[in-house]
């Protein structure tokens, strides 16, 4: 069994981004990322701080806009519009979920598709569907990067994704399909779930339920990717996969923390660099 080291892979991705950024700076161009945070959700604050650190590491300019939970939809959309019009900001990211009373989808739609480095805008989602895209959602793209790094081929494999969110589940299924995987998506209404999952060569768990995937749900020798970021009964960080129960059964597995998480932020850096190059016709 091999533990997939997301920290190591993400460090290599960020090193490449830093190298390209240094080259752009010689031409007088610095990639810029704006992050909007509404309210004071502690988990969102951690994510935003990690994104800021990553920007510093690769040499980007990063700007943070922290709005109170009481901010109105109008204020938020006005801020997005202002950032859309700034040539020194190449990527715009609004940390979700937003506080109650604000409309996530209206904010996503307001971000210019050219600056949508999360790849959540309908236009970018549609382009992923047909396989002609500029940006990929950070988590699924980070997972594909890890599979490539470890030479895990998707071609012809049975792939099962547990979870159908727009952020992970659906785009994950599309990316596996683009690489010729045979893909099944499972969710809360799926019957005989463990029968389906225990037939998977590649199993991706993205449901947000601590330690949900047990050994009896996993095929011997499967590749198990854990997207969950949960807390167990002792308050310790864990994933959607019961790591200790499953690890001896699979060929590869991602740990939590240190697996998918670091890759998400590395991919965000890659997307922001790409946005900068596209906007500067490079």
Catalytically active residues are 51, 95, 118
Query: CA 141, CA 86: separation in Å to the nearest integer?
Result: 27
Which residues contact residue 233 at a Cβ distance below 8 angstroms, ignoring those fewer than 6 apart?
A: none
Query: CA 238, CA 235: separation in Å to the nearest integer?
Result: 9
Query: CA 73, CA 96: separation in Å to the nearest integer?
Result: 14
Which residues contact residue 95 at a Cβ distance below 8 angstroms, ignoring those fewer than 6 apart?
A: 35, 36, 37, 38, 41, 44, 47, 48
- Tokens, residue 153: 């081929």
Query: CA 57, CA 60: separation in Å to the nearest integer?
Result: 8
Nearest to 52 by CA among 202, 232, 268, 236: 268
Contact present, 229 and 256 (Cβ < 8 Å): yes
Query: CA 277, CA 282: separation in Å to the nearest integer?
Result: 5
CB neighbours of residue 81 within 10 Å: 12
- Tokens, residue 229: 């970021």
Contact present, 46 and 88 (Cβ < 8 Å): no
SS3 content of the chain, % helix, strand, coil (to 5): 45, 15, 40
Contact present, 116 and 92 (Cβ < 8 Å): yes
């Amino acid at each position: 069994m091999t533990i997939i080291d997301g920290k190591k892979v993400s460090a290599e991705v960020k090193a490449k981004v830093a190298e390209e950024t240094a080259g752009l700076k010689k031409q007088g161009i610095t990639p810029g990322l704006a992050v909007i945070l509404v309210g004071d959700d502690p988990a969102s604050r951690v994510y935003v701080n990690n994104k800021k650190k990553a920007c510093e590491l690769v040499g980007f300019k990063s700007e943070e806009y922290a709005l109170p939970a009481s901010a109105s939809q109008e204020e938020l959309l006005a801020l997005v519009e202002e950032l859309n019009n700034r040539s020194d900001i190449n990527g715009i990211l609004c940390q979700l979920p937003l506080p109650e009373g604000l409309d996530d989808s209206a904010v996503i739609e307001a971000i210019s598709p050219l600056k949508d480095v999360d790849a959540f805008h309908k236009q970018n989602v549609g382009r992923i569907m047909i396989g002609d895209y500029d940006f990929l959602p950070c988590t699924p793209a980070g997972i594909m990067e890890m599979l490539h790094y470890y030479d895990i081929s998707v071609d012809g494999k049975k792939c099962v994704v547990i979870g159908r969110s727009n952020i992970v589940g659906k785009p994950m299924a599309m990316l596996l399909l683009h690489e010729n995987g045979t893909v099944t998506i499972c969710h809360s209404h799926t019957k005989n779930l463990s029968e389906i999952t225990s037939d998977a060569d590649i199993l991706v768990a993205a449901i947000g339920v601590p330690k949900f995937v047990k050994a009896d749900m996993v095929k011997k020798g499967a590749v198990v990717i854990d997207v969950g970021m949960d807390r167990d009964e002792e308050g310790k960080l864990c994933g959607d996969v019961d790591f200790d129960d499953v690890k001896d059964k699979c060929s590869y597995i991602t740990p939590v923390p240190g697996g998918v998480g670091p890759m998400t932020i590395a991919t965000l850096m890659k997307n922001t660099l790409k946005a900068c190059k596209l906007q500067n016709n490079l």
